[in-house]
Amino acid sequence: MWDKIKDFFKSNNFINRLDLEAEEKVSSNLEANIDYLKDNLAPSSDLVFRSFHIGQKKEIDAEIIYFNELINADILQKEVLRSLMFDLELDCSNRTIKKEINDTLINSTIPIGELETTQSLTKALEQLLSGDVILFIEGIPKTFILGIKELEKREVQTPQIEAVTRGPQESFIEPLSTNISLIRRRIKDNNLMIDIKQIGERTKTDLAIIYIDDIVDQDIIKKVRDRLESIEIDGVLEIGYINQSFRDNWASPFPQFQTTERPDKALANLLEGKVVLLLDGSPFASIMPTTFIQFLQSPEDYYDHFYIASLLRLFRVAATFITISLPAIYISLVSFHHELLPRELALSLATAREGVPFPSVLEAFIMEISLEFLREAGIRLPGPIGQTIGIVGGLILGEAAVDAGLVSPPMVIVVALTAIASFVIPSYSATIPLRLLRFSMMLLAAVFSTYGLMIGWLLILIHLCSLESLGVPYFAPFAPIKLTDLKDSFIKFPLKFMGKRPESTPTQQKKRQPDKE
C-alpha cells in the first residue's frame, strides 16, 4: 500500500522529468528517434530539427537537432552540413553501409575534434540540452554527438574583490571551461585531477571537483563526494549554494569554506592538499577544507618579503579584534568604567560627550547602523554615484551630526576606525560574520560592560573551537595548537622554512619536496 502511494507521487511529480534510470536505446528507425525527442522536449522555438540527405547521391535520410542559440552556426554549416551533404561519397547498394558510415564519419568526413557516438537516447537528450548538436542517420542505431558549442562569455578580467598590488591579475569568469584552463595552465602535474559532475535536478550544472591526487587526503575527497551526493536541489546558480549545503555547522555565521576569484590562490590551496570546487556559471572557486586564519591571509603575503607579510598579518589580526569589539569597548568604558581610562583621556572624552543627548549605546547603534546603510548603498549604486554616497554619507552627514550635537566626535572616530578595520581583512565573506558579531558585542557591553565583553569573546572562542570544516578543526593551528603551522598563520616565516605542507589539513605527502638523494 505504502509503496503504491509512493509510486503515485513519484509518477505525478516527475511526469515531465527524464527518468535516468530507464535508458532508451537509439533505434535504427530515424522517425522513432525523432518522435522520442519530440515527446520528451518542450516545443521551444529555439529547438531546431533539420532533416537532410547524406552523400552526393542523396539516398540516406538524416536529421540534426540542436538549440540554435547555443551552437556555432558557422561551423555547423561549413564543416558539418557541407561535408555530409557534398563531400561524402557512399555506395549505398553495399551491405556494409552501416559500418562504413560509422567509420567514415568519425575518421574522415566531419572535421571536428569533439565527436562521440552513443547508443543511449537519454544521453543524447542530455547532451542536446547542454548545447551539443546530435545527428541521427536512417538505419544506424547510434547517435553522433557533435561538440560545437559556442557560449557567450566575458573576457578574463582583473580580480575585483581580491585585488592585490602584486601578483597575477587574472580572475575566474563564468564558463567552467575557461576557469579550468586558468588552473590547468598553471600546473603541469600529471596527478592533477579534474572530475566533472552534474548537479541540480533541473539546471544540471557542471561542477568540477579539482584536487591533486597524490597530495589530497582520501577521507576528505570521500567526504566531498558524499556530501555532493546528498545535495538535493533543483537549481544551482552560484557556488554559494554548494557551500551552504556542504557546511558542517549550518547555524554558524562564519564561512566554513573559502571562496576565491583568484586562480593563483586556488592553486596554492591545491598544493596544500585542499579540494577546489568550480561551478559552471560562477566566477568563484570554493576551497575546502578551510581554517579561520586563512581569511586573514592574502596571496600577496607569499609574494612579498616575510617581514612585511608578518607585519601585515599582525595588523589584520588586530583589525579583526577591532572590527568585532572596538565599539563595544568604547561603550563599556564610557558608560561603566571611566576609571579604567587614564585621567587625561577620560577628561577629554567627557568634554567631547558633553551635550550629547543619547546614551553611548544608542549613539553607537545609530552610527553603526547608518554606516552599514552607507556600505550597502555604496555597493548597489553604480560607480560614479557610489562616490557621491561616500561624500554625502561620510563627510556631510558625519560632520553635520557632530555639529548638531547629536553624536560626539570620539564616537565618529570609533565608528570610522571600525569600518576601516573591517576593510583591512582581505576576505569579504569573513567580514560579514564579524559585522554581525559586532552588534551582539555592543549589546553585551551595554548590559554587562567589560564582563559582557569577556563573555562575548569566550562565546566566540568556544564557537570557533567547536567548528570544523570537513572534519578539519576550523581554529587550527591555534586550537588545537600545531606548532609547525604557526609559521604560516598570524606571522609568516621565510619560504625556506616552509618545506612542509600545513599539518592541520591532513595530506598524503607531508613534505612539499621529496628528499633529494
Grid look-up 545609530 returns: 366
12 phi/psi in degrees, rounded to 5: -75, -40
What's the grid cell of residue 12? 505525478
State which residue, 255 or 452, has the beta carbon closest to another protein: 452
Closest approach, Cβ 480 to another protein, in A, equals: 6
Closest approach, Cβ 294 to another protein, in A, equals: 17
Cα separation, 357 vs 351, in Å, equals 14
State which residue, 341 or 432, has the beta carbon closest to another protein: 341
Cα separation, 315 vs 122, in Å, equals 57
State which residue, 151 or 464, has the beta carbon closest to another protein: 464
State which residue, 340 or 420, has the beta carbon closest to another protein: 340
Closest approach, Cβ 346 to another protein, in A, equals: 8
Q: What is the 3-state secondary structure (H, E, C) of 353-405?
A: HCCCCCCHHHHHHHHHHHHHHHHHHHHHCCHHHHHHHHHHHHHHHHHHHHHCC
What's the grid cell of residue 173? 569568469
State which residue, 221 or 341, has the beta carbon closest to another protein: 341
Closest approach, Cβ 501 to another protein, in A, equals: 20
Q: Using CB under 8 A as the criterion, which residues of the chain lie in contact with another protein when the complex forms?
A: 336-337, 339-343, 448-455, 457-459, 461-463, 465-466, 473, 475, 478-481
Closest approach, Cβ 256 to another protein, in A, equals: 15
CA nearest neighbour of 288 among 341, 249, 247, 345: 247
3-state DSSP assignment of residue 128: helix
Closest approach, Cβ 326 to another protein, in A, equals: 16
Closest approach, Cβ 450 to another protein, in A, equals: 5
Helices (H) and strands (E) in the chain, counts: 18, 12
26 phi/psi in degrees, rounded to 5: -70, 130
3-state DSSP assignment of residue 165: coil
State which residue, 285 or 319, has the beta carbon closest to another protein: 319
State which residue, 339 or 403, has the beta carbon closest to another protein: 339
Q: What is the 3-state secondary structure (H, E, C) of 461-489?
A: HHHHHHCEECCEECCCCECCECCHHHHEC
Closest approach, Cβ 489 to another protein, in A, equals: 12
State which residue, 125 or 331, has the beta carbon closest to another protein: 331
CA nearest neighbour of 497 among 483, 487, 505, 510: 487
Closest approach, Cβ 75 to another protein, in A, equals: 56
CA nearest neighbour of 453 among 463, 442, 467: 442
Strand order in the sheet with 60-67: 47-54, 60-67, 133-137, 143-146, 115-118
State which residue, 119 or 335, has the beta carbon closest to another protein: 335
State which residue, 136 or 475, has the beta carbon closest to another protein: 475
Closest approach, Cβ 264 to another protein, in A, equals: 31
Decide: residue 22, CB within 10 A, 0-12 exposed, 13-18 middle, 19+ buried: exposed
